[in-house]
Amino acid sequence: MMAAVTSARSSLSDRIRERRRMAAAWLSGPGLWVIIALFMTWAVLQERDAFTVGIVSGSIFALGALGLTLIYGVLKFGHFAHGDTMMFSAYIAFFLLGGFIVGERPGDELQVLPVTVNDLPGAGDAIWKFSFGYGLWVAMAAAAVLTAGIMVGLDRLVYRRLRDRKSGIVIFSIAALGVAIATRALMFIFYGPSPRLYYPGIRERLDLPFDVSLLADQLFIFATAVVVTALIYLLLFYTKLGKAMRAMADNADLARISGINTDRIILQTWIVAGGLIAVAGVLLALQVQLDPELGFVLLLPLFASAILGGLGNPQGALVGGLIVGITQEVAVTLDLPLIGEVSAGYKFSIAFIILVLMLLVRPRGLFGARV
């Protein structure tokens, strides 16, 4: 009798445990996708404007997270200077366009470059409905080259020495943090706290089908993000460099003994990441006004995007970036029960909430990275 009761009870608790395990498995697997899909559908139907803006800022996050995830995959550390380097290369482009170092007060400007990108014939004439001419592309390309050079230099000066010493990943992250603080301070010293625009003036708005309305520049940001992500995808999966990078991400020691020159791959990773950082930075400066505080503000969304997609995974970075961007914009329009209206000040805390939920439910990210 007792035995029967005990066994019944234990089978019941077993069943409950089994159910709970199944629920957790569903929530961390297909359920998560279902929830995301439902939320996105609802956002498209109900909050179309916020959704559109979210896609644009999400594109920028995606490009940033793409660089972050590449560095993470190959070098195995969280690059805490990523946001600040993006801000920095956006200022490089600003510098190349106008040749200015701008002082604290208006009119306190110092022309440094004798010839600037804006001096090229027709460089400033707006293309189609964009606010910029081909000069921005020239500046972006030049900024990409310069940023890549700076990243390689930083690696030689700082990160390689730490690597040679076999420092733990945390030491790299702290070093990156120091670099971030110094970068931010440098831009404050040169450009001061006042916000900058590449091209002042009114931006042209496009009215697309399905009642979607956005700035022409924002369309450009989204298109560039998609193209660049596609390029990185091709690089990773259809070139020798990409194969080597993936091999290193998988197992650096194994890659080395298989005859891959890991030092050169690390260098090339920094070059690719530097280019990505510059493109993301310039797009960021098109979307919002450029100021030195931007870098730190970006840090949470970038890491949230990269971790959401799965650290070390390029498609994940794109999807993660878009989800974080859209959720941020949509969430601050919400009027939740119990909590009430979500204030716009919480925008960047949303990224943090997504991050924590993701770490709780599925720490390896949507597209499964190693943890």
Question: In the complex, which residues of this chain contact other proteins (CB under 8 A)?
Answer: 77-78, 80, 103-105, 158, 161-162, 167-171, 173-175, 177-186, 188-189, 192, 296, 299-300, 303, 307, 343, 345-346, 348-349, 351-353, 355-356, 359-360, 363, 371
Q: At closest approach, how far in Å is the CB of 353 from other proteins?
A: 8
Q: At closest approach, how far in Å is the CB of 371 from other proteins?
A: 6
Q: At closest approach, how far in Å is the CB of 168 from other proteins?
A: 8
Indicate the residue among 165 and 240 with the shorter CB distance to other proteins.
165
- CA dist 364 and 144 (Å) reads 31
Q: At closest approach, how far in Å is the CB of 17 from other proteins?
A: 20
- CA dist 366 and 212 (Å) reads 28
- CA dist 113 and 4 (Å) reads 89
Sign of the CA dihedral 270, 271, 275, 276? Answer: negative
Instruction: Please state, as a whole number, how many other Cβ atoms lie within 10 Å of the Cβ of residue 130.
Output: 17
3-state helix, strand, coil in the chain (%, to 5): 70, 5, 25
Indicate the residue among 186 and 219 with the shorter CB distance to other proteins.
186
DSSP codes, 175-189: HHHHHHHHHHHHHHH
Indicate the residue among 217 and 329 with the shorter CB distance to other proteins.
329
Q: At closest approach, how far in Å is the CB of 169 from other proteins?
A: 6
Q: At closest approach, how far in Å is the CB of 180 from other proteins?
A: 7
Indicate the residue among 32 and 359 with the shorter CB distance to other proteins.
359
Cα 76 off chain centre by: 17
Task: Say if strands 109-111 and 212-215 run parallel, antiparallel, or are unpaired.
Answer: unpaired
Q: Which of 307, 367, 306 has the alpha carbon at shortest distance from 66?
A: 306
Q: At closest approach, how far in Å is the CB of 182 from other proteins?
A: 3
Axis crossing angle, helix 2-28 with helix 30-46, rounded to the nearest 10? 50
Indicate the residue among 137 and 188 with the shorter CB distance to other proteins.
188
Indicate the residue among 117 and 351 with the shorter CB distance to other proteins.
351
Indicate the residue among 145 and 186 with the shorter CB distance to other proteins.
186
Sign of the CA dihedral 179, 182, 185, 186? Answer: negative
> What are the E-state strand segments in 14-126?
100-102, 109-111
